[in-house]
Amino acid sequence: MRRIHHFRNFAIGAVALLWSAQVGSADAQSSAQPSFVTTKEGGFLLDGKPFRVAGVNNHYLTFGSSGEVTRVLDDATAMGANVVRTFLQPVIGSLDGRVPTIWNSKSTADSSNLGTKGIYMMSWDPITNKMVPNDGPDGLQKVDYLIAEAAKRKLRLILAFVDFWAYTGGAQQMNAWYGSSDKYTFFAADPRTRRDYKAWVGHVLSRVNTITGVRYSDDPTIFAWDLANEPDIHPKPLLHEWVSEMSAYVKSLAPKQLVTTGHGNMDQKLADMNIPSVDFGTWHGYPSYVKMSHSDFDARIREYCAIGRNIGKPVILEEFGIPRSDADQANAYGTWLNTIATSDCGGWVVWRLTSTQDSGLYPQDDYDKFDIHNDGSPAWQALRDAALKLQ
């Protein structure tokens, strides 16, 4: 009996030690997991410390090749960026062609110039009359890969659920599923497109990454969700109502992640920041498009940073660019980003970082001349200096 009692005590002790080791290991793993970025008193926080966004946009990360994706992420890291922004795209008509795709999905151009190689995130099923997400390797598994690779590099992502514009379908393709070409009102006003949008959001947030095993809504690699890229919804009361409903819906499904609108906000003075379920403000600025001087744009930056401070939420200049044809490009970048750094604004995300395509060349048809490359140019150096300073 004593021997049995001794063995029992030994077994209990061994189990206790094993349990303790497992708990310790789990705690270590838990502590090694990245934290979610949060907001407090007009700023971002990470592990209780201020977090400032120094980021890059790239538009082909959800349909480029694996090499094209990793080259962009590597170049973002080389620049000192901590955030990368992109859109969940493309969106097509029906696979059988009965409901047309309204953009050139058959293009053989390189990825930067919207050659999407048959990849799509959602389509229309004319039999069931429903939106159908694409969970396959030519669909959301591309996003799985992007998230996993960003996490390896300790980069955070801003993901827009959909692009409002029709370059690769976006919200305009979702309108076309119902025969509408109304660009500005139908998407937010029609109950069917609202239903499709919420179904898409729910599907994305509940998705479990096939590489990492982490549910999207539980992944701190995703810094924030844009409701859309530039949801230019008219009239303004409809925009406010749509943003209120959809941001609250996203927050209900992903309470640990940040939500913003993705709106350009150049003419709305960040009015959507007053919506409780919008965590921070976004605006997009291209002075050359609106014939604004560099100094006037710098004043606009100061104005928008002040609006954020008054409301008590961070503000990000989420898209901006100066064409390479502007001889003062690098100086303007340096001035604007210093203004953001010294104005205690949330940060910036430049449009746009592109890297070598699978051809071995940088994109050859940069029609707006905003592309930034890891080429040691004055503009690259200005952005790199600003990113390192902000961190």
Amino acid identity for residue 96 in this structure: D
Return phi, psi of residue 222, to 5°: -85, 100
**Count of alpha carbons within 13 angstroms of residue 61, beta-carbon side:** 30
pLDDT level of residue 267 (50, 70, 90 thresholds): confident
Question: Do 43 and 314 touch, CB atoms closer than 8 A?
Answer: yes
Write down the residue that tokens 């140019």 correspond to: 377
pLDDT level of residue 34 (50, 70, 90 thresholds): confident
pLDDT of residue 27: 36
Quickly list DSSP for 53-65: EEEEE-S-TTTS-
Question: What average pLDDT does range 30-50 have in this prediction?
Answer: 87
Question: What average pLDDT does range 150-169 have in this prediction?
Answer: 98
pLDDT of residue 387: 98
Q: How many CB atoms lie within 10 A of CB 214?
A: 19
Q: Is the per-residue pLDDT at 325 higher than 70?
A: yes
Q: Which of 356, 340, 357 is nearest to 348 (CA)?
A: 340
How would you classify the pairing of strands 49-51 and 315-320? unpaired
Express the helix, strand and coil content of the chain in percent, nearest 5 each. Answer: 40, 15, 45
CA–CA separation, 176 and 301 (whole Å):
37
pTM, 2 dp: 0.91
CA–CA separation, 254 and 256 (whole Å):
6
* DSSP reduced 3-state for 229: strand
pLDDT level of residue 26 (50, 70, 90 thresholds): very low
pLDDT level of residue 391 (50, 70, 90 thresholds): confident
Q: Which of 125, 124, 127, 108 is nearest to 116 (CA)?
A: 108
pLDDT of residue 10: 33
Q: Is the per-residue pLDDT at 28 higher than 60?
A: no
pLDDT for 217-260, tens place per residue?
999 999 999 999 999 999 999 999 999 999 999 999 999 999 99
pLDDT level of residue 12 (50, 70, 90 thresholds): very low
CA–CA separation, 222 and 159 (whole Å):
7
Question: Do 89 and 111 touch, CB atoms closer than 8 A?
Answer: no
pLDDT for 55-75, tens place per residue?
999 999 999 999 999 999 999
CA–CA separation, 203 and 19 (whole Å):
37
Quickly list DSSP for 25-93: HHHHHHHHSPPPPEEETTEEEETTEEE-EEEEE-S-TTTS-HHHHHHHHHHHHHHT--EEEEE---B-S
Question: What average pLDDT does range 291-320 have in this prediction?
Answer: 97
Angle 87-93-98 from CA coordinates, rounded to 5°:
175
Q: Is the per-residue pLDDT at 21 higher than 80?
A: no
pLDDT for 83-134, tens place per residue?
999 999 999 999 999 999 999 999 999 999 999 999 999 999 999 999 999 9
In what helix (H) or strand (E) does residue 306 lie, and over which residues does it extend? Answer: helix 294-311
Angle 363-367-371 from CA coordinates, rounded to 5°:
55
**Higher per-residue confidence, 131 vs 30:** 131
pLDDT level of residue 7 (50, 70, 90 thresholds): very low
CA–CA separation, 195 and 82 (whole Å):
34
Question: What average pLDDT does range 358-378 have in this prediction?
Answer: 91
CA–CA separation, 187 and 374 (whole Å):
38
Ranges 181-185, 264-268, 351-355: which has the least confidence: 264-268
Is the sign of the CA dihedral 387, 388, 390, 391 positive or negative? Answer: positive
Q: Is the per-residue pLDDT at 20 higher than 60?
A: no
